[in-house]
Amino acid sequence: MEHPRLMADLSVAEMMERWPQTIPFFFRYRMACVGCPIAPFETLVEVAAVCGPVGDCNTVQQSEYARLFGLIPIGVLGLVGYAAILTVWIVARCGHGQLAGLASLALLAMTFFGTLFSIYLTFLEPFVIGATCAWCLTSAVVMTMLLALTVTPGKRAISNLFHGRMQQTALRDAP
């Protein structure tokens, strides 16, 4: 009987299917997102060398700063944040009137907070953790670009909401 061999070109999904005992290993070392749609296409080599020649993602992911309050992985927080931004963006684009304006304000607030949080995390990498993660830096750049894209619609929404309230006050106070 031939023993199964671990091959570098075996996909992560195939590996977890053949050897379910590997799943805790992937979770422990945050090497792949178990159950995510890309798992069937990522090989073990790609997952292990995900950071490439730039940075040290594994050191960053294994640091005490990789989890918010020691509970929520920062990657999960980012995924939820990006999903929320996408959802609110759809509401801003498809909504009308005050709903669209409020969604634009929410986008501005979310991307502003995301950018500030990214600045904090980017500071931690070289000065506290002593390693940098290319994916983290890419996320910080993307979040900053999203902030830049939401400033104008956010300002317009603030102006419209403020102008609308001024008109309502004027109408209410009119004799």
For residues 10 and 66, membership in a common domain is answered with: no
The helix/strand/coil state of 20 is helix
> Buried (b) or exposed (e) across 110-138, using 16+ Cβ within 10 A?
bbbebbebbeebbebbeeebebbbbbbbe
State whether 150 and 162 are in the same domain.
yes
Residues 57 and 45 in one domain: no
Number of domains in the chain: 2
Q: What per-residue confidence (pLDDT) applies to 7?
A: 56
pLDDT band at residue 12, thresholds of 50, 70 and 90? Answer: low
By CB neighbour count within 10 A (0-12 exposed, 13-18 middle, 19+ buried), where does 15 fall? buried
What contacts 24+ positions apart, CB below 8 Å, involve 76-83?
78/139, 81/110, 81/114
Q: Are residues 64 and 5 in the same domain?
A: no
Domain of residue 22 covers 1-50
Q: Are 35 and 66 in contact (CB under 8 A)?
A: no
Tokens of 105: 């304000």
Q: Are residues 106 and 166 in the same domain?
A: yes
Which residues are 58's β-sheet partners? none
Residue 122: band (very low, low, confident or very high) from pLDDT cuts 50, 70, 90: very high
Same domain, 43 and 93: no
Neighbours of 3 (CB within 10 A): 4
Q: Do 69 and 151 fall into the same domain?
A: yes
pLDDT in tens, 36-60: 444 444 445 445 545 555 567 777 7
pTM: 0.65
